[in-house]
Amino acid sequence: MIGIMTEDEPAAAKRGDDPELFLRWLTIEHLLTSARELQARGGGAWPSLAVISADAATEVMLFLVAVTGANPPSDRAKYEEVYDAAVAELRDGHHVEVTGSLRARILNAHRARNAAIHEGNGPTVTTVRSSINAASELRDLIVSRLPTLQPFAGTGPVGAIAKTIAEGHDEEDRHDRQRNRDQEIEGRGPGGEEGEEARLAGVRDRRHDVA
């Protein structure tokens, strides 16, 4: 949910940290890892499952990009709508042009997925490899260009979570220090007029006790 932040709210909240984003990224990594493991198992149903897993990872990534655009697709949008919206958002919102080769491999992977699910046609070894490589390339592309995903770059999902939590604590500390300085200037903090009066009162009390 997007709301209006006040001046007193922590800076970490203004960063827009989204626990759902971590969950989605963990899902992407899991799907890609599963695709590679299924690919290594060889024949039978494994190649089809590998393509399905890689395509699912790609679809989650496309949706993550598409929902940040001016016209985000709904949760029930068709694959083509999500794909078009994601490509447009990368181009118009982030000045990233998805190469023709990558676009072709993404669409071919989705067609192979549909053929495996709806027609029972198993993909070739080349198609499986291409599908996984396309998903991996798309992941690297969006991680390097989208600010909301850059914490994941080079750290993996677990490292990204730890990094973001640490950054959140740092920003909260900076926000607290700034708020204390503002309060001191306004006379509401430990260094303002009220704070000075309390300090002098403490000194008087100690002198009285000594006397």
Domains within the chain, CATH numbers bracketed: 17-154 (1.20.120), 165-210 (no CATH)
For the cut 70, the answer to whether the pLDDT of residue 105 exceeds it is: yes
CA 103-84-22 angle, to 5 degrees, is 85
The residue among 11 and 106 whose pLDDT is bigger is 106
Grade residue 19 by pLDDT with cuts at 50, 70 and 90: confident
Grade residue 162 by pLDDT with cuts at 50, 70 and 90: low
The residue among 189 and 93 whose pLDDT is bigger is 93
Mean predicted lDDT score pLDDT of the chain: 78
Task: State which amino acid sits at residue 116.
Answer: A
The residue among 122 and 163 whose pLDDT is bigger is 122
Mean pLDDT score, 52-73? 92
Range among 74-88, 144-158, 182-196 rated most confident: 74-88
- Would you state the pLDDT for residue 18? 64
Cβ atoms of residues 103 and 138 within 8 Å: no
Mean pLDDT score, 14-32? 75
Q: Cβ of 106: how many Cβ atoms within 10 Å? A: 26
- Would you state the pLDDT for residue 125? 95
Q: What is the chain's Cα-based Rg?
A: 26
- Would you state the pLDDT for residue 9? 37
Intra-chain end-to-end CA distance of the chain, in Å: 61
How many residues appear in the chain? 211
Mean pLDDT score, 188-201? 56
Cβ within 8 Å of residue 38, ≥6 positions away? 46, 47, 49, 50, 53
Mark residue 165 as left, alpha or beta (left: phi above 0; alpha: psi -120 to 50; beta: remaining): alpha
| Range 160-174 burial, b when 16+ CB lie within 10 A, else e | bbeebeeebeebeee
Residues 66 and 71: their CA atoms lie apart, in Å, by 8
Joined together, the tokens standing for residue 205 give: 């009390």
Grade residue 82 by pLDDT with cuts at 50, 70 and 90: very high
Cβ within 8 Å of residue 137, ≥6 positions away? 102, 105
Question: Locate tokens 């990224």: which residue?
Answer: 25
Residues 93 and 65: their CA atoms lie apart, in Å, by 10
The residue among 35 and 180 whose pLDDT is bigger is 35
Lowest mean pLDDT among 9-18, 87-96, 111-120, 187-196: 9-18
Q: Which helix (H) or strand (E) holds 126?
A: helix 125-145
- Would you state the pLDDT for residue 1? 27
Residues 63 and 24: their CA atoms lie apart, in Å, by 10
For the cut 70, the answer to whether the pLDDT of residue 101 exceeds it is: yes
- Would you state the pLDDT for residue 2? 29
